[in-house]
Amino acid sequence: MNQKESSQVKLSAYLYSIISTTLVLFMLGVLGTVLLHAKALSDHFRENVEITIALKDQISSQDSTALLGYIQSQTYTNELRYVSKEEAAKVFRQDSGEDFREVLDFNPLFASLNLYVKADYANTDSLQYIQSTLENKAGVVHVFYHEGLIDVINRNIRKISIILLVLGAIFLIMAFVLIDNTIKMAMYAKRFLIKSMQLVGATRQFIAKPFEQQSVYNGMISGLGAALLLIVCLLLAQQSLPELSTLYRATPFVVLCFCLVGIGVLISWLSTRQAVYKYLQRNLDDLY
């Protein structure tokens, strides 16, 4: 085999390793994106749980101002909306299809504050504490929320989270095995070169260094390629389903892309180092 053919084989081995690693990392990134969106989706559901604070008709402006200030200053408050008696009546007519004004000559509904808490506080213990605290405030008639809905949401979220975490662990192991085997196949083509360098007196570190450096470059290219594919797919998905943009979180996604590059570099480096040392430990006859 001449030098030109040897260079082509070397380039082909590197290219095959990079493409294979890129595809595996891309699939790992897809699963990571699903996990990120699942977290954002669960937070979205939790933050849309409504706590209704019914207000007295004769609530004073002083009590009203104090109540608003107290709620808005709490760490659990995500959003607060005021609903007047007229708006409450309109919602009642839309939801029930009935108009109590045909029977009553007054509006029996209360004005209210609709409180939406942050996702971390959307659990039974926190909501019960919020309910008991607000019911003791001046001007408040009653505080209520759908307890059964909270339990169902949290129970389903826990089940889905466990399933996704198990799938993530399995997929990470599969990614490591696939990338490791791909790199070892690429290194198999260089086994005689590795052994020849050892036979002429080169040390292990000297022999392994160029291969390890190349593996770092290959892993970095593969990780960047996987991140780029992931960004393109995410943009296409958001164009088809604009609702996905509401779940997108820039910082976790950027961290995920950096993780793909890091995983690509780490696995490539470890697999290459292991393969080089394996061939250095073997006899020349065992390489045939």
Listed range (68-82, 166-180, 261-275) with the worst mean pLDDT: 166-180
May I ask the CATH architecture of the domain 50-145? 2-Layer Sandwich (3.30)
Question: In one letter, which amino acid is 167?
Answer: L
Question: Domain ranges in the chain?
Answer: 3-44+153-287, 50-145
- Checking if the pLDDT of 198 tops 60, the result is yes
131, 95 contact by CB (below 8 A): no
Q: Which two tokens stand for residue 240?
A: 């088809």
Q: What is the pLDDT averaged over residues 42-65?
A: 84
pTM for this prediction: 0.62
- In b/e form, how buried is each residue of 14-46, taking b as 16+ CB within 10 angstroms? beebbebbbbbbbbbbbbbbebbbbbbbbbeeb
Look at residue 2 in the predicted model and tell me its pLDDT.
Answer: 45
Q: What percent of the chain has pLDDT over 90?
A: 8
Whether 102 shows a pLDDT value over 80: the answer reads no
Is 229:32 a contact under the CB 8 Å cutoff? no
Strands 112-117 and 77-83: antiparallel
pLDDT tens-digit map of 108-122: 677 888 999 998 888
239-261: per-residue pLDDT in tens?
887 766 766 777 888 898 999 99
Residue 249 burial by Cβ neighbours in a 10 Å radius (0-12, 13-18, 19+): middle
